[in-house]
Amino acid sequence: MNIIIVGCGKVGQTLAGQLNEEGNNITVIDLDSTRVNSLISRQDIMGIVGNGATHAVQVKAGIDKADLLIAVTGSDELNLLCCLTARMAGQCKTIAQVKNPVYHADAAFLKDELGLAMVINPEQAAAAEIARILRFPSAIKIDTFAKGKVELIKFRLPENCPIVGMTVREAVSGLGCDVLFCTVERGDQAYIVNGDFIFSERDILSIIASPRQVAAFFRKINYKSRAVKDVLIAGGGEMTHYLTDILRRSGIAVKIIEKDINLCESMSNLWPDVTVVRGDAVDKDLLLEEGITNAGAFVALTNLDEENIMLSLFAQSVGKCKIVTKINRIDFDEVIKRLELDSIIYPKHITAEQIERYARAAGNTVGSNMETLYHVISGRVEAAEFTVSDHSKVTDTPLSRLSCKEGVLVAAIIRGGNVIIPHGQDTIQVGDSVVIVSKLTATMVHDLCDILE
């Protein structure tokens, strides 16, 4: 596909890299020549310095031959104008990033009236992911498929876990839970596990199952998980706005620490039942005074990654609460992983996943449509959900007889509302939803048939 990306910030950079790796022709536009030149020096892509909302610049970028324009500048209004210009100048699909809560209620209206393929909101999407994690604090990350019927849960093996030292085969038979072990992260290594894989202490696992079976599995391995009843949030920006809205509706008490007096007054007026404390969250004494040692969860959402990391490490040192850390910069994720923070949220990755899913689905599909896409292990392993719309090479044949590529796992089949954790004799049928977990080194799964040799 020919794709134009307007905006070379963190989201634009992430998108350019991922979509370029998938074989798309990428052209980036930004007013900042340093950003453009830096990006094109690292990627095999085209770059144009200019205002991406103007017709002349879009023509120079090849809007007449573009299949998709993605506007991810720092301005919501500029993103919408970019898409409107593109719709008038060419026949391509358009995607706009819109972050401001003021426009949240109008997202569907804007999409329809401006003919947008998607309206994406990184802050809202990240807040929704944080809320999912807080509902199940044992998890590092939770991804959902088939409208919540299937969950992919990432977690660290607890101390004295009974499955440490067991093979996958022994764990499955011994626990008697209908779950599928998908991946293991051990140090710098990432594995898609088979029956002979042996679990070790400190492994980070991902499993896939229905929510009921996930809960049963955690009971069997003695992983205690108490529901979060109260949350202390550092920072009062847009993500805090969306997260607070979700948590309040779930009956979770929220306390926010924010140093900007105008934001404090705005939040206090908007949510009378939320405790808003004016102060600097980096003040250790203030955090202790506001109850960080006894909080059910602590969420670091300031605008500075360094502050969020420091605050999360402090929360780890003084309490046993669930901790979620927002990280905007994606350059040092390998270093940050070594800190063993609890749950880390990368809003840029979430946005990139949404757009990447659309771009793949808009490409060449044969008998299936991609519904969901998640990066289980960033840059290494992904999970994709497909709806099977027609007969193909993968349908009506037992899985044991399919010649699947190495590093590819058929993780779940959803049929008629029922979740099937597949075995060798199970088949994929028309109308099914299928979850595929794959190593990125093995294949790029655009279509379900891509899993075959």
pLDDT at residue 29 greater than cutoff 90: yes
- In this structure, are residues 254 and 233 in contact, taking their beta carbons and an 8 Å threshold? yes
- The predicted structure's pLDDT at residue 415: 93
Structure tokens at 342: 């609890």
Q: What is the dihedral of CA 283, 285, 287, 292, to 10 degrees?
A: 150
Structure tokens at 51: 């205002």
Task: State the Cα–Cα distance between residues 202 and 222, nearest whole angstrom.
Answer: 15
Percent of the chain with pLDDT over 70: 97
67 confidence band (pLDDT: 50, 70, 90)? very high
58 confidence band (pLDDT: 50, 70, 90)? very high
> pTM of the full predicted structure?
0.83
Average confidence (pLDDT) over 28-55: 95
- The predicted structure's pLDDT at residue 305: 93
Q: Residue 106 corresponds to which amino acid? A: D
pLDDT, one tens digit per residue, over 285-312 is 999 999 999 999 999 999 999 999 999 9
Average confidence (pLDDT) over 125-143: 90
Structure tokens at 78: 């500029």
Which H helix or E strand runs over 204? strand 204-209
Q: Round the average pLDDT of the chain to a whole number and report it.
A: 90
Of 175, 176, 179, 178, the C-alpha closest to 161 is 175
Average confidence (pLDDT) over 351-378: 75
- The predicted structure's pLDDT at residue 366: 53
| Residue 301 DSSP code | -
Phi/psi at 2 (nearest 5 deg)? -95, 115
The pairing of beta strand 230-234 with beta strand 297-300: parallel
- The predicted structure's pLDDT at residue 311: 97
The pairing of beta strand 2-6 with beta strand 68-71: parallel
- In this structure, are residues 203 and 165 in contact, taking their beta carbons and an 8 Å threshold? no
- The predicted structure's pLDDT at residue 16: 92
Which of 105-109, 223-227, 244-248 has the largest mean confidence?
A: 244-248
pLDDT at residue 443 greater than cutoff 80: no
- The predicted structure's pLDDT at residue 18: 85
Which H helix or E strand runs over 232? strand 230-234
Phi/psi at 205 (nearest 5 deg)? -105, 155
pLDDT at residue 121 greater than cutoff 60: yes
Task: State the Cα–Cα distance between residues 11 and 356, nearest whole angstrom.
Answer: 12
Sheet holding 343-345, edge to edge: 275-278, 253-258, 230-234, 297-300, 322-326, 343-345
95 confidence band (pLDDT: 50, 70, 90)? very high
367 confidence band (pLDDT: 50, 70, 90)? low
pLDDT at residue 364 greater than cutoff 60: no
pLDDT at residue 365 greater than cutoff 60: no
- The predicted structure's pLDDT at residue 363: 61
Task: State the Cα–Cα distance between residues 437 and 414, nearest whole angstrom.
Answer: 15
pLDDT at residue 250 greater than cutoff 60: yes
Domains, in order of start, for the chain = 2-120 (3.40.50.720), 141-220 (3.30.70.1450), 230-345 (3.40.50.720), 352-451 (3.30.70.1450)
pLDDT at residue 337 greater than cutoff 90: no
- The predicted structure's pLDDT at residue 175: 87
- The predicted structure's pLDDT at residue 352: 82
Structure tokens at 10: 């963190």
Task: State the Cα–Cα distance between residues 360 and 382, nearest whole angstrom.
Answer: 13
Average confidence (pLDDT) over 209-220: 89
Average confidence (pLDDT) over 336-346: 86
Average confidence (pLDDT) over 73-95: 93
Phi/psi at 405 (nearest 5 deg)? -65, 150
Cα 169 to Cα 92, 166, 180: the distances in Å are 49, 8, 10
pLDDT, one tens digit per residue, over 410-420 is 999 999 889 99
- The predicted structure's pLDDT at residue 239: 94
pLDDT at residue 204 greater than cutoff 90: yes
CB-count burial class (<10 Å; 0-12, 13-18, 19+) for 6 = buried
